[in-house]
Amino acid sequence: MRIIQTPDYNGMSIEVARIIAAQLSLKPDCVLGLATGSTPTLAYQYLSEWGNQWLDFSKATSVNLDEYRGLPKDHEQSYHYFMQKHLFQNVPIRPNRTFLPDGMEPDIERACQDYDDVIRYVGGIDLQLLGLGHNGHIGFNEPDTCFAKGTHCVDLSEQTIQANKRFFQSEDDVPRQAYTMGIKNILSARRILIAVSGKDKAHIVKEAFFGPVTPQVPASILQFHQDATLVADKDALSECEGLLP
């Protein structure tokens, strides 16, 4: 795993945006795997600016990691809404080439099968962007007993509900389930880019990327990916001193 340390959140965001922009410049019709959460928002802001200047999004395809089950696309906390707001409405990406799991599909099996089919249909993911949950989750892959899953429906862990309640009016409004790409989908991406910022993630960064590989820390499997890059700021890497190359 390549590790890029940046001084702060802004530096991390520029670095992440640069890597995505380079991917898009080298292969304009690439498939970008995108993530939500607070971590990538500034990187999306840079990409939105560049997308109106010199960066061509018009041939790109995107597939997002996850979506809350039961939230309609126009709900302010849905990941559909998040992606519109932070990126899709700001750049000339074709709306019919942006994909997210359908949170309103009540048939779990169908929702998951359909999304696995979408990923196959677009030809797989060239570059997958990931954030990191406090318990080591990626997408919404919570600590588990195995890695080998495609798109599936998860019951969110108490820790994830607590972490995400800041975006909702009350804790009761946080959906309890989500559709997420599985570790199998994520690991199949040709390149992986993990973005992490802040002291509150320092402990899990050490555990996930310098500890044993275990489904109890889902992100730890990324240590085995042949082309993974971690972009993290100084705070996020503050417990890894002495471990960094």
Note the residues at the interface with ligand GLP (CB under 6 A): 35-39, 65-66, 131-133, 139-140, 160, 164
* Nearer to ligand GLP among residue 38 and residue 89 (C-beta): 38
CB of 220 to ligand GLP, least distance (A): 15
* Nearer to ligand GLP among residue 51 and residue 133 (C-beta): 133
Q: Is 203 a catalytic residue?
A: no
* Nearer to ligand GLP among residue 59 and residue 234 (C-beta): 234
List 66, 126, 233, 235, catalytic entry: 66
Rounded to an integer, what distance in angstroms lies between the CA atom of residue 13 and that of residue 19?
10
List 86, 137, 152, 225, catalytic entry: 137
146, burial (CB in 10 Å: exposed 0-12, middle 13-18, buried 19+): exposed
* Nearer to ligand GLP among residue 57 and residue 179 (C-beta): 179
> Maximum CA pair distance of the chain?
49
List 15, 67, 102, 142, catalytic entry: 142
CB of 41 to ligand GLP, least distance (A): 8
Question: Closest Cα to residue 103, out of 91, 112, 94, 116?
Answer: 112
List 135, 141, 164, 185, catalytic entry: 135
Read off the amino acid at residue 125: I
- Residue 238's region, left for phi above 0, alpha for psi from -120 to 50, else beta, is alpha
Q: Is 135 a catalytic residue?
A: yes
Q: Is 9 in contact with 21 (CB distance < 8 Å)?
A: no
CB of 65 to ligand GLP, least distance (A): 5
Q: From the CB of residue 168, how many other CB atoms can be counted at a distance below 10 Å?
A: 14
Nearest residue relative to ligand GLP (C-beta)? 131
CB of 213 to ligand GLP, least distance (A): 19
Rounded to an integer, what distance in angstroms lies between the CA atom of residue 197 and that of residue 94?
30
* Nearer to ligand GLP among residue 6 and residue 160 (C-beta): 160
Question: Closest Cα to residue 37, out of 74, 66, 2, 9?
Answer: 66
CB of 61 to ligand GLP, least distance (A): 19
Q: Is 142 a catalytic residue?
A: yes
Q: What are the strands, taking DSSP E only, across 53-168?
A: 61-64, 66-68, 98-99, 127-130, 152-155
User: Which residues are catalytically annotated?
Assistant: 66, 135, 137, 142
